[in-house]
Structure 1
Amino acid sequence: MLFESPRAFLRALPRVQQDANGIEILATTAQFRTRLLEQIAQAKQRIYIAALYLQHDEGGAEILAALYAAKARQPYLDIAILVDWHRAQRGLIGAAAQSGNAGWYQSEAQQQQLEVPIYGVPVQTRELLGVLHLKGFVIDDTVIYSGASLNNVYLHIGERYRADRYHLIRNQILANSMVQFIQEALLSQTAVHRLDRPSIPSTKDIRGTIRLCRQQLKSARYKLATNTPTPTGLAITPLVGVGQRNPLNRVIVKLIAAAERKIVICTPYFNLPRSVTKIIKQQLKKGVQVDIIVGDKTANDFFIPASEPFKTIGALPYLYEMNLRRFAKAQQTAIHAGRLNLLLWNDVGHSYHLKGIWIDDDYQLLTGNNLNPRAFNLDLENALLIHDPQQQLAASAQIEQTQIRQHTQRITHFAELETLADYPEKVKKLLRRLSRIRADRLLSRFL
């Protein structure tokens, strides 16, 4: 229907029934690492992992070693690791030139002499224009869903951690659907190549197949059995999308519009798409309470302390803070009235990577989507929409939110946020130059 309500739209989505006892929320990064390693060690049939990257450091090495050990114990174990094609073949942003993680994958494969395939998925011909931001670890019939990638900081090896959300969901139908998508929509593509084998083709040589792959991904969907009755209780809808006006984007906007009492949003980078900002403003005018939990600039993964050499990428956290200040200034009346709560997360020395949406007490969105223009237009993203009409998960959701909020501070007035005049001189100089040529607006579409 042309004018169907947001809730009617959400209720019409295909979904799979879920047992409330089959969902477990992990509270810390360290717990995520422990449970992921336990699940890998216990795997009997399959391990499918999708992440932005599997890093060549102690954390990544621990995961890769566990995968090889699992394959050694179970020779017929079906394993597929998917990472972004571009990210795997370069060094860290701002670091010296490196061969990337692909060389490490090949070295480990030669030493181990076991098949643990690691695939590079090129979502675009250039990393700036789109990456594999698909999330989810499927181990047998359990889905571990998190926005985390696999390295030291995401696995809390060492002093620092990067906070994320971590859900263990036991559901065979959901797990099958996510594996089927990987097999049919990604591994079948001629643009997708093994990175653990030598002679990787250059991006230039496969440009044509990359473009074809992206075009086909625009129509790819998670498939659910159609011969089963629609669940009336707790249920999950897997969602995927890439490019402008994709189905996941539409669900996110409809989900926020469906709120009748309260919206809670987590995003690490405050750079909301216009469609999301517009619907949030509409909901505030209706009297709906909106809580947005965003990382303080010092909790941003691109933040560079004053004690370290400045790099251009270090200006990003300041750009996000400027966005937040403008939004807070425009909505100061709602902040003062308590309808809008802007909460800055900051656990000193650590970083913030949480994403997700809670609507009233009956909808949750688990996602790696950063709710920014890049996620809405460029990257391949996915999410799990949980519908909980009987509010079986309300208590656990409240516990999770309480844990997240323990490191937050509410902004009571936009003036509490710093301005350009307060920033370090090198940041100030760069942002002024970008602003003069309006490059800051262009950057917001890509970063």
Structure 2
Amino acid sequence: MPSLFKRSLLPKLRSFPLSADAFSILPGAADFRRCLLEHIANARQRITLVALYLQQDEAGQEILDALHAAKAARPELEIVVMVDWLRAQRGLIGAGKQPGNAAWYQAQTQAHDTHVPIYGVPVQTRELFGVLHLKGFIIDDCVIYSGASLNNVYLHKFDKYRFDRYHVLNNKPLADSMQHFIEHDLIQTKAVHRLDLPTLPSTRSLRSAIGDLRSRLKKASYDTRQGTVGHFGLSVSPLLGVGKNNPLSRVICELIASSQQQLTICTPYFNLPLPVTREINRALERGVRIDIVVGDKTANDFYIPPSEPFKVIAALPYLYELSLRRFAKSHQAMIDSGLLNLHLWRDGDNTYHLKGMWVDDRYTLLTGNNLNPRAFRLDLENGLLIDDPRRELLEPRRKELDAIFAHTTRIETFRQLETLTDYPPAVAKFLRRVSRVRIERLLYRIL
């Protein structure tokens, strides 16, 4: 397919051949938890878990206990857990001063005879300006890919769940490629240290090493030398991205530009980067039908009910809704024509964390990228691009989309979305103050 970009990446991507029976989609968070625990218990060679965080709660304990049990059963197993360095050393937002998960990691290491190292990756010196947002759990030759982190709600341990996407790919070259990046581009650097051991170095003392790591990551990529260019069957390409104009961000824009009939986009936080908005507008002008699925503000993981005390973080879902309302207002004619369809996801008091894209009947992008300015510039992101030129995955693809749309409502007009006058007084007061001092635009760049 011809590209509209002068330096197009899409036709040059190296990919690994993938058989249809080696690819499966899990229907929900509870299935994801069971699948992950089953693979950990049956692992024979390696287990590498990469997530934003491994939380100290019942589900987090279940995962960590499973890792120690697997190591005790097979001491030759190579086990690595990687989480964000800064996120692991603070408590939950709005919960007051807490020691963070790192203290729990250290206590667990002391409580077990088995060796399960937990590494912290500092993508920046401050969490606000970049975190480890890589996704993917590598177990032997299998990659379990999801945007989920590891805690009660992401793993549906109890009543509530956080809805995400869950894919299982049995593909040794892909698993090897992702494992190689973890070992050579992260663990072996001076910035990455174990969080499960006492006497952690201070982030300040690592400033130089963190700067070196970030510079290195901007040039890094997955090793795809075992892959091929121009493969004509089902295949998967791993993508990496951090910083401005990174390969993952560029491919996302190229995928939108390549769409001819239909495009579906999922994001939990509606705050599209300008390049994405431009490509969406061009696609609409071409006559592409576009569906965008966003979480209702009450399904946002930062949402706090008005009955609870106001915290600044509680304003975020309302900021995203205001952004969505502006977008809907400027595209009302396309909404009326049925070419643009904006859908709000809501299922009780559960939360929504889906990301990714479906392009025509060919491409599917699995990613943790939120399709916002932060993901395009600050965080370390990755993704798996599934290319299906023979339409071998249409049925599982359809089932996944049906499950996503099952709890959505289409926005018929921008007036369905609330404004400042409808918001709780404390939220409206904060947002008016933000607007007056003109820092709203800055917030959209880093949130």
Normalising by structure 1, report the TM-score: 0.98
Letter aligned with residue 174 of structure 1: L
Aligned residue in 2 for 1:57: 57
Give % identity: 58
In structure 2, the residue matched to 1:373 is 373
Deviates more, 1:10-19 or 1:58-67: 10-19
CA contact (8 A) 1:218 1:241 kept: yes
The 1:5/1:241 distance shift into structure 2, 3 A limit, reads closer
Q: Distance in 2 between matches of 1:36 and 1:309?
A: 37
1:198 corresponding residue in structure 2? 198
The superposition leaves residues 41-66 of structure 1 with CA deviations (integer Å, 9 ceiling, x where unpaired) of 00000001110000000110100000
- Give me the whole-angstrom Cα distance separating, in 1, the residues matched to 2:108 and 2:9: 48
Alignment of 1:170-209 (within 5 A): 170-209=170-209
Q: Is the 8 A contact 1:6 1:258 kept in 2?
A: no
Residues 113-192 of structure 1 correspond to what in structure 2 (within 5 A)?
A: 113-192=113-192
Find the aligned partners of 1:6 and 1:365 in 2 and give their Cα distance. Answer: 22
Matched-pair contact (CA < 8 Å) for 1:142–1:170: yes
- Aligned pair 1:281/2:281, yes or no? yes
- Alpha-carbon RMSD across the aligned residues, in angstroms, is 1.4
- Output one character per residue of 1:130-173: Cα deviation in whole Å (capped at 9) or x when no partner: 00000000000000000000000001112110000000000000
Residue of structure 1 equivalent to 2:26 = 26
Per the TM alignment, residue 4 of structure 1 is displaced from its structure 2 partner at its CA by 5.7
User: 1:51 & 1:127 partners in 2: Cα distance?
Assistant: 15
Q: Deviations over 1:336-372 (max 9, x none)?
A: 0000000000001100000000000000000000000
- 1:320-335 equivalences in 2 (<5 Å): 320-335=320-335
Q: Distance in 1 between matches of 2:109 and 2:103?
A: 10
Deviation sequence 1:196-232 (CA, Å, 0-9, x none):
1001001011111011110001111001135867521
Question: In the alignment, is residue 69 of structure 1 matched against residue 72 of structure 2?
Answer: no
Distance, in Å, in 1 between the alignment partners of 2:240 and 2:11 is: 17
CA separation in 1, counterparts of 2:328 and 2:50? 36
Structure 1 residues 229 and 357: CA distance shift in structure 2, 3 A: closer
Name the residue aligned to 2:93. 93
Q: Partner of 1:113: helix, strand, or coil?
A: coil
- Rounded Cα–Cα distance in structure 1 between residues aligned with 2:230 and 2:67: 37
Alignment check: 8 A CA contact 1:6 1:257 kept: no
1:272-300 per-position Cα deviation (integer Å, ceiling 9, x unaligned) = 00000011011111111110000000000
Cα offset, 1:395, TM superposition: 1.2
Number of aligned positions between the proteins? 446
The amino acid that maps onto 2:342 is L
Who is 2:336 aligned against?
336
For 1:278, give the aligned amino acid: R
1:71-90 C-alpha deviation (Å, 9 max, x unpaired): 00010101110000000000
Residue identity in the other structure for 1:276: V
Task: Specify the alignment match of 1:390 in structure 2.
Answer: 390
Instruction: Specify the SS of the correspondent of 1:125.
Output: coil
C-alpha displacement of 1:259: 0.2
SS of residue matched to 1:151: coil
Q: CA deviation at 1:12?
A: 2.2
CA distance, structure 1, for counterparts of residue 268 and residue 249 of structure 2: 18
Matched, 1:105 2:105: yes
1:406 aligns with 2:406: yes
Change (3 A) 1:7 1:384: farther
In structure 2, relative to structure 1, the CA distance for the partners of 1:384 and 1:229 (3 Å cut) is: closer
Helix, strand or coil at the partner of 1:197: coil
Corresponding residue for 2:438?
Answer: 438
| 3-state SS of 2:219 partner | coil
Q: Which residue of 1 aligns with 2:261?
A: 261
What is the distance in 1 between the residues matched to 2:89 and 2:166? 27
Structure 1 letter corresponding to 2:394: A
Distance 1:336 1:6 in 2: 34
Cα shift at 1:15 = 0.5
Q: 2: distance between equivalents of 1:429 and 1:307? A: 16
Who is 2:41 aligned against? 41
TM-aligned CA distance change 1:3 to 1:240, over 3 Å: closer
1:393–1:227: structure 2 CA closer, same or farther, 3 Å change rule? closer
